[in-house]
Structure 1
Amino acid sequence: MKPADPVLRREPRRELWLLGAVLLIFCLLAATLALPAEEDAFIYYRYAWNWAHGQGLAFNAGDPVEGFSGPLWMGILALVAGAGLDLPRTATLLGLLCGVAALAATWALGRAAGLSRSGRLMAVACVALSYPFIVWSRSGLETPLYSLAIVVTAAAYLAAEYPLARQADRRWPRRIAAVTPIFVCLGRPEGAMLVVVMAADRLLARDRRGALRYGVPAAIGYGGYLVWRLLTFHSLVPNTSVKLYPLLIERSGGQFLDYVLLLGALPLLLPVLALLDRRGTGPERRRLGFLAAVVCLVSFLFNFLAGGDYRPGFRYFIPTLPVLMVAVWCAASLLRPLASPPARALLLALLLSGSMIRLGQNPPRVHDWRREVYEMWRDPATDTNNWGIRIVRWMEGHVPERSVVAFGQMGRVPYYLAHDGHEVRFVDTLGLVDREVARIYRFDGKISDLLRDIRAGRSPREALELGRQRRALRFAGTILGKQPDFVLIEAALNDYPMMRALQENPEFQTTYHQSGQLPLEGLPYVRIYTPVRRRP
């Protein structure tokens, strides 16, 4: 029997060959770009290393603190470490595999959304050639796995609730879409927003059973993890929530605008225009509305709630990039002015323009691939020009076993010291893996203090200043209360209020003195303080 929709016909070999070619290009680009190892990935590696060596899922032995954002990725890397595999090397390979799988899932999402063959391939190409997507797939972080979970869930949901054929069997898509949101929630905390979108979409369709179908399994699955989190880490929220600061509008807004410019600015208006155009059919517009809602809540809204990321690279946006590209090409198929091949070519050029500029600035290394790419991937510790590796080498020669070190970079340095057999305990001055320091930084605590001071009769300006002073004193007292044997302060944090408060603290000035710096000559990137009674 002939299918009712040509999209449902068996895909010709030509399309699959073209899809394979796009995936191959992605792999070649990812394997030939010279990219430094991602600092935050080493936080995962230290947790995994400690777990594999009998110290539990803890950054510092005996002190369980959830200093990672992706529980699912953390579990995978713990198994990698337990199997005796090299963590930096294996994590990047797994990330690339997840990136490839996310691209294949993007093709499936385009199919479920009703895109034509060319539309599906162009959506996949826009993601595969995206410079930030390539970078984060190589990072060793949870980003590509989280993106894969989002795309699979979105594709299964569209196939289950908005099938292209009326007689389609929706049982398996519904089962998949009911289970995969659990993995999205375990991918990153903001993944729960995807479940909200799915449940809200069902409620808008007056399908309460459908809302329960997707909401209940996610609530049970993620709820089980919350119970385990509370019993293990003694907290209902991860310690990484210290990074959330909605008042950083300048940073979050700037990163959002940069992301819009990366994608050519104008293409992101297409889903809005298509949703406003009443000429599209109901199912087409509902599919597009769902895709747009996923992007807006899971990435755009979270970016502003978090105050943006503390570094460039669009980390909060990239997980939903495949969904956004499918939404853009769906919108283009609904708008008549974009039906011509020249208009489609212009749209493709705009979407890829930002990434092509970045690839031009950092082109693939083919001629000197072994030295510039392979050796750094095989063993990041060979990158002796990296400041973190230099600090590791210095600490291996100067920091005694069982020392306590206060430092703000919890990536390469703690991991390689643990990997090389050195027992050193770290106090994280930025709070990501330190519960006491995190309490000082957390946004909810700042708001609570502000409201309490305002109720006490102080003006908002006075309350803000008093809160800053109080937190600075608490920070200095917390760090000094841990009695670190070494305090390493990065030059990049010279103007950071908390670091300045620590250095200006009378107890710190009488107890510690600057005993060195790295590098030993020239402008330092880190200053080393030790107790006055003891010189290294």
Structure 2
Amino acid sequence: MGYAVVACWLLLAALVVATWARIAADRRWRGFVLVLTLGFSLVHQLVFATVTDAALVTFRYAQNIADGNGPVFNPGDRSEGYANFLWLVVVSLPKAAFGADIATSAVVLGVVSAFGCVLVSYFLVNRVTTLALPEGGERRPAVGVAAAVLTAGASGLAVYGPSGTETPLFVLLVLAVAYALVASRPVVAGVLVAAAVMTRPEGVVPAVVAGVWLVVAAARGRHTWWAPVGYGLGALVFLVPWTAWRATFYHHFLPNRALRPHGPDWSYLAGFSLAHLGFLAIGLAAVVTLAACRTHGRAAEARAALWLLFALVAGLTAFVAILDDDQGTSWRLLTPVPPLLAVAAVGTYGALTAANPSPRPRTVSRLVPVAAAALTGLAVLASLLSPDLLARVRDWRTHSAQLAEVGEWLGDYLPAGSVVSAASPGAIASRVGSQLLVIGAGAKRATVAVPDGDGYAQRQDCAAGPDSSPAATFRRIGTPFWITVYPRADEAGRLIDDLDRAPGFQYVSCP
């Protein structure tokens, strides 16, 4: 698949550069290139194509919804172990209505959401560019194609498109909020920002940024004061009943997700910056250019829209760096940043050239497809070569498969009703069924603990487990792998005998 995505990029880049004038002049040709861009996006996503442990947690909640048990991980235990309510509901509906497979539905919906990000990037850039046009000015719809190509090349979006998680939907909602604001649809923006908040805790960032942007716009006379009021009402229409339901069902108002202030993780931010250097470079260039230019009239509206995009980038980055620990691979929580930078940078070029046409428009315009193609190529290379992207995802895929196998073993040989405490509860629970209760790591009432979330080990590990509990080590027969579990001390002998009955696992006592 690595060669396939490189070949798709080369084909798309050559086509966009060679036919840029035709893309600018012919609507049908733009549509054709956008379809090819979606194809490139699909191949880029298929390079990764791995369902994550976080998605498996959501799938178990969704299965319980479809089975009539409500949004619970274990029937009868009302604990909110998810932070993606809207995505949970969305992936539950096909199963509840048509009996569709939850994992397949989630993967398909994630890929479709990534496609939506590509298309909204196109329309958003064109909307910003149109705002800057003087009366009678010529529209420049081709610049939107450049933003779509860059968004399709964003590695984080490609990683999480087919992952089964809410990440691509969240990116789509953030871009859609920006589009609604730029299109002067504050009520729609309020509804969309409520959806973003219900999809990820980071949704509070676009909610605050959008509200502040509308208040400033109203104070400067770009909107009436009804705009921020309508925005707030649109958001509250969904947030109020959702909060009331959560208070009734889970008995708390705020999401069950701890956000604690901490110092920035500089190694995390440095790794992200290195892998997304092209996006950061064009974003920085756009910020400097935008700050240096003075605009008035319609161009000032476009300038305000661009600052909105940069404010979203800054807000999301600060939120993740200061308040949220990103436990996912490939900088999951920063996935919206590269598409936003792509839209903001291309939109800056489109708006400024629309407001101030170049005396050499053809020479200048050739830089756009060449730059977009080159930066997309760098993003593809980062996807394939960065140790934090494809290599990490492959490890992640292997570990999830191994833990799912461990979960099947535990489910088949532990007594019904046993409680399993796991560092990766989603993977462990994916093949357990309903005969066991699976909970997070560190629980004191567990029958068996599996504190290692990295799958099998290469050697026997006899280290004491949680609360100094003794280790029970098993060799995976026919492989060089080991797995260590920690049975409850008062039942250790019986539990080890039960697990040792499995033909694929052999108990080996610690020396």
Question: Which residue of 68, 71, 80 corresponds with 1:57?
Answer: 71
1:251/1:307 contact within 8 Å kept: no
Pair 1:257-2:273 in alignment: yes
Shift of 1:127: 0.9
Pair 1:82-2:99 in alignment: no
> 2:96 is aligned with what amino acid?
G
Give distance in 1, aligned partners of 2:154 and 2:111. Answer: 14
Shift of 1:525: 5.1
Distance 1:361 1:260, change over 3 A: closer
Query: 1:57-206 to 2 correspondence within 5 Å?
Result: 57-83=71-97, 84-114=99-129, 116-160=140-184, 173-205=185-217, 206=219
Distance 1:231 1:125, change over 3 A: same
The one-character-per-residue Cα deviations of 1:138-182 (angstroms, maximum 9, x if unpaired) are: 11111121222222221121011xxxxxxxxxxxx3443343222
Shift of 1:20: 1.9
Q: What secondary structure is seen at the aligned counterpart in 1 of 2:421?
A: strand
Question: Which residue of 486, 489, 493 corresponds with 2:451?
Answer: 489
Pair 1:35-2:45 in alignment: no
Distance 1:502 1:229, change over 3 A: farther
1:69/1:238 contact within 8 Å kept: yes
Give distance in 1, aligned partners of 2:86 and 2:435. Answer: 27
> 1:490 is aligned with what amino acid?
D
Q: What secondary structure is seen at the aligned counterpart in 2 of 1:392?
A: helix
Give distance in 2, aligned partners of 1:127 and 1:491. Answer: 32
1:95/1:139 contact within 8 Å kept: yes
Alignment match, 1:415 = 430
Pair 1:524-2:482 in alignment: yes
> 1:517 is aligned with what amino acid?
F
2:52/2:400 contact within 8 Å kept: no
Alignment match, 1:357 = 381
Give distance in 2, aligned partners of 1:223 and 1:502. Answer: 47
Q: What secondary structure is seen at the aligned counterpart in 2 of 1:427?
A: strand
Distance 1:121 1:93, change over 3 A: same
> 1:53 is aligned with what amino acid?
D
Give distance in 1, aligned partners of 2:88 and 2:201. Answer: 13
The one-character-per-residue Cα deviations of 1:454-487 (angstroms, maximum 9, x if unpaired) are: xxxxxxxxxxxxxxxxxxxxx6xxx33x2x2212
Q: What secondary structure is seen at the aligned counterpart in 2 of 1:46?
A: helix
2:418/2:447 contact within 8 Å kept: yes
Q: What secondary structure is seen at the aligned counterpart in 1 of 2:285?
A: helix
Give distance in 1, aligned partners of 2:327 and 2:172. Answer: 24
Shift of 1:427: 2.8
Query: 1:297-316 to 2 correspondence within 5 Å?
Result: 297=315, 299-316=316-333
Shift of 1:492: 5.4
Shift of 1:221: 2.0
Q: What secondary structure is seen at the aligned counterpart in 1 of 2:76?
A: coil
Alignment match, 2:229 = 212
Pair 1:17-2:32 in alignment: yes
Shift of 1:110: 1.3
Give distance in 1, aligned partners of 2:225 and 2:71. Answer: 39
> 2:474 is aligned with what amino acid?
Q
Shift of 1:123: 0.3
Give distance in 2, aligned partners of 1:314 and 1:523. Answer: 29
Q: What secondary structure is seen at the aligned counterpart in 2 of 1:406?
A: strand
1:81/1:87 contact within 8 Å kept: yes
Alignment match, 1:470 = none
> 2:73 is aligned with what amino acid?
F
The one-character-per-residue Cα deviations of 1:244-279 (angstroms, maximum 9, x if unpaired) are: 553353355335434542x35421202321231133
TM-score, structure 2 length as denominator? 0.76
Shift of 1:125: 0.4
Alignment match, 1:437 = none
1:95/1:141 contact within 8 Å kept: yes
Q: What secondary structure is seen at the aligned counterpart in 1 of 2:482?
A: coil
For these two proteins, the number of residue pairs brought into alignment is: 432
Alignment match, 1:452 = none
> 1:296 is aligned with what amino acid?
A
> 1:272 is aligned with what amino acid?
V
Question: Which residue of 263, 282, 286 corresponds with 2:304?
Answer: 286
Distance 1:533 1:388, change over 3 A: closer
Query: 1:229-378 to 2 correspondence within 5 Å?
Result: 229-239=246-256, 241-242=257-258, 244=260, 246-247=262-263, 249-250=265-266, 252-258=268-274, 260-261=276-277, 263=278, 265-280=280-295, 281-297=299-315, 299-333=316-350, 334=352, 340-341=364-365, 343-345=367-369, 347-349=371-373, 351-361=375-385
2:125/2:147 contact within 8 Å kept: yes
Shift of 1:34: 5.0
> 2:313 is aligned with what amino acid?
V
Distance 1:487 1:184, change over 3 A: closer
1:271/1:328 contact within 8 Å kept: yes
Shift of 1:237: 2.5
Query: 1:396-407 to 2 correspondence within 5 Å?
Result: 396-407=411-422
1:405/1:426 contact within 8 Å kept: yes
2:279/2:342 contact within 8 Å kept: no
2:317/2:337 contact within 8 Å kept: no
Q: What secondary structure is seen at the aligned counterpart in 1 of 2:451?
A: strand
> 2:265 is aligned with what amino acid?
I
Q: What secondary structure is seen at the aligned counterpart in 2 of 1:416?
A: coil
Moved more, 144-153 or 338-347: 338-347
> 1:223 is aligned with what amino acid?
V
Distance 1:11 1:301, change over 3 A: farther
Alignment match, 2:505 = none
Q: What secondary structure is seen at the aligned counterpart in 2 of 1:58?
A: coil
Distance 1:385 1:325, change over 3 A: closer
Q: CA RMSD, aligned part only?
A: 3.3
Distance 1:193 1:311, change over 3 A: closer
Give distance in 1, aligned partners of 2:384 and 2:47. Answer: 11
The one-character-per-residue Cα deviations of 1:183-208 (angstroms, maximum 9, x if unpaired) are: 22222122122122222122222143
Distance 1:60 1:19, change over 3 A: same
> 2:262 is aligned with what amino acid?
P
2:463/2:471 contact within 8 Å kept: no
1:491/1:525 contact within 8 Å kept: no
Shift of 1:530: 4.2
1:247/1:307 contact within 8 Å kept: no
> 1:227 is aligned with what amino acid?
A
Give distance in 2, aligned partners of 1:329 and 1:155. Answer: 15
Q: What secondary structure is seen at the aligned counterpart in 1 of 2:430?
A: helix
Distance 1:87 1:245, change over 3 A: farther
